[in-house]
Amino acid sequence: MAAHEARKVLRGAGEATVEVRLGSGVTVGGGAFTVIAGPCALENADQVEKAATAVKLAGAHVLRGGAFKPRTSPYSFQGLGEMGLQLLAEQGKRHRMPVVSEVMDVSQLALMLDYVDVLQIGARNMHNFSLLREVAKTNRPVVLKRGFGATLEEWLLAAEYLLDGGNDQVILCERGIRSFDNTLRNTLDLAGMAWVKERSRLPVIVDPSHSTGVRSLVIPMALAAAAAGADGIMVEVHPAPEAAMCDGPQALTPEMFGSLMQTLPALLHATGRALARPEALAAVGGASR
């Protein structure tokens, strides 16, 4: 990628990674490893409470959950909308965690800003340039997922829309791409993630849930992402994956997520890093600023 094509997103000589602040005490890109976890879709109060409690107790730093769900079939569960955002914000405040949720359309932005600390741009909207421009104006931290058919250059140029709009609080998220092999849901491109991390000044995290679609592979790929230098992971956790209304086969149980969080410190130590310290978190959540 030529520098004049994406000058804001590229790393200058000796330039450190941008440290994105998600809420008081929570950052991505500051050297420590940040974990974002929670259910794919927010389904009801009991599910959200159990998922939030489980990920907090295990040591997650940020609570995720989808209130508006982009689904391939129009007949699939589409999310709870504002009710889901309310449930997410309530649990974020209760557990002192910033919250992140996906915005699908410009018309949802004003509502989302009332409830969430971090806006997520999903893979299907990576090339929605009008949405990128409007999200940039909010100056709210953004998780930008790589489109499932996007090249690394296209991914960086999508981030450039946000930076060009005045928002440098951007986290890139590798979530797998489509390839000739359809054995797994997607192909996790860890080499691409590492390449982008070398060249971009933005922090890069990995979503091992969407990139594999297989529960048993999520933990190995999360650990591989940490070993490859990712700044964090975004993992789906559901209190009862077998009953999940969205992406149950790729969601970790609370017990599996706890095991992952117990394994990460030793691996990160071997790479000279550590988990971010959850005890340092201040009272945040629900777009509290």
Closest to 103 (Cα-Cα) out of 130, 124, 85, 122: 122
**Under-50 pLDDT residues of the chain:** 1-4, 6, 279-285, 288-289
Q: What is the pLDDT of residue 136?
A: 97
Q: What is the pLDDT of residue 277?
A: 78
Q: What is the pLDDT of residue 213?
A: 95
Alpha-carbon span 10 to 196, nearest angstrom: 9
Q: pTM for this structure?
A: 0.92
Angle value at C-alpha 88, between 125 and 132, nearest 5 degrees: 20
What residues does 232 pair with on adjacent strands? 34, 205
Closest to 84 (Cα-Cα) out of 105, 53, 107, 108: 108
Alpha-carbon span 91 to 60, nearest angstrom: 13
Location of structure tokens 């994105």 = 20
Q: What is the pLDDT of residue 29?
A: 95
Domain ranges for the chain, please list them.
31-269
Please give the class, per CATH, of domain 31-269: alpha beta
What residues does 26 pair with on adjacent strands? 23
Q: What is the pLDDT of residue 156?
A: 96
